Amino acid sequence: MRRIGFFTFAVGVALLPALFPDNYFVMAVGVSAGLNAILAVGLNLLMGYAGQISLGHAAFFGMGAYTSAILTTRYACPSLIALTAGLIIAGVIAWLLARPILRLRGHYLAMATLGFGVIVHVLMVQATPWTGGPDGLNGIPPLNLLGWSVDSDLRWYAVIMAALLLAIGLSLNLVDSRIGRALRAVRGSEFAAQMLGIDTGRAKTQVFVVSALFAAFAGSLFAHQQSFVSPDSFNLTVSVELVTMVVLGGLASTYGSACGAIALTLLHEGLVVFEDYEMMIHGALLMAVMIFMPQGLFIGLSQGARRLWRLKNKASA
């Protein structure tokens, strides 16, 4: 069953550019939806499975992006090495931060992660000699995969979608592993999980680091794909957006998070035509979805469809 889902998704993703060749919308929106989906799948491991909220996830996304940007533009570092360095930096910072920050619960945890995100953002704006300040860094070379330069829209689409499939595969496997079961126990009741002999501190630390690695990976790809980074791409709004994607897709569902990310990316693209009304409509939709479908868009819609189906059956009987 799980395999079928994965292959359906892979085939669908591969068919899109074949069905719409040279379609700018599919390529550009596909790439940004794919990146968002990687971020959401990673964040869902932390939020959905372990039940820990993070309002500062854009910070790890930014660390990956800025590490790649700085190393490739300043030191002519090969892009794969820069990507690895970004993963290491984000991973180490997440590891150091995990113990003290994941001791916190509920709103205190929300505050602490939010604060961390703001601090990293301020550093990006202020540490001008390193980060280029508010203007950011440009001229980032295309990603170079052992001699194969990723420099066309189609190639980017292929790379990002491959990365997304990798992320989904990793996430599905992780969830079904010993760690995944430990995490779900932590979400159910941390106390009970401890009683069962689970080192909850360690489990939470591991998932926080993994989730940060997903984000930094997406960040590196983002930097190369845009060939430009600025602090605006990693602010609080982005962190909030990521949380929204995960919740919209339905917590604790890998495909749900990916679909939530794709839905929200499409929504943004669609709302652009409303110009100044975009913000108001965006806010109203967010509220409406959470009020009427608190379990997420997909569970909400499928429940609604089932209810309709039942009504129809009753009417015919």
Length of the chain: 317
Q: Are strands 148-150 and 143-145 parallel, antiparallel or unpaired?
A: antiparallel
Q: Give the whole-angstrom CA distance, residue 177 versus residue 63.
A: 28
Query: For another protein, which stretch binds (CB under 8 A), given 12-20, 30-38, 216-224, 271-279?
Result: 271-279
Q: Give the whole-angstrom CA distance, residue 82 versus residue 87.
A: 9
CB atoms closer than 10 angstroms to residue 89: 17
Burial class (CB in 10 A: 0-12, 13-18, 19+), 16: middle
Question: Least CB distance from residue 50 to another protein, whole Å?
Answer: 13
Question: Using CB under 8 A, which of 92, 284, 308, 311 touches another protein?
Answer: 284
Per DSSP, the three-state class of 53 is coil
Question: Least CB distance from residue 206 to another protein, whole Å?
Answer: 20
- Select 273 or 315, whichever has its Cβ closest to another protein: 273
Contact 171, 65 (CB under 8 A): no
Q: How far out from the chain centre does Cα 88 lie? A: 18
3-state helix, strand, coil in the chain (%, to 5): 80, 5, 15
Question: Using CB under 8 A, which of 39, 40, 47, 71 touches another protein?
Answer: 47
Binding to another protein by CB under 8 A, coded x per residue (else -) over 208-247, reads ----------------------------x---x--xx--x
Q: What is the Cβ-side half-sphere exposure of residue 44, based on CA atoms within 13 angstroms?
A: 32
- Select 22 or 276, whichever has its Cβ closest to another protein: 276
Binding to another protein by CB under 8 A, coded x per residue (else -) over 140-179, reads ----------------------------------------
Question: Least CB distance from residue 102 to another protein, whole Å?
Answer: 11
Question: Using CB under 8 A, which of 291, 313, 314, 315 touches another protein?
Answer: 291
Q: Which residues bind another protein (CB under 8 A)?
A: 47, 53, 55, 100-101, 103-108, 110-112, 114-116, 118-119, 122-123, 125-126, 189, 191-192, 236, 240, 243-244, 247, 251, 276-287, 290-291, 294
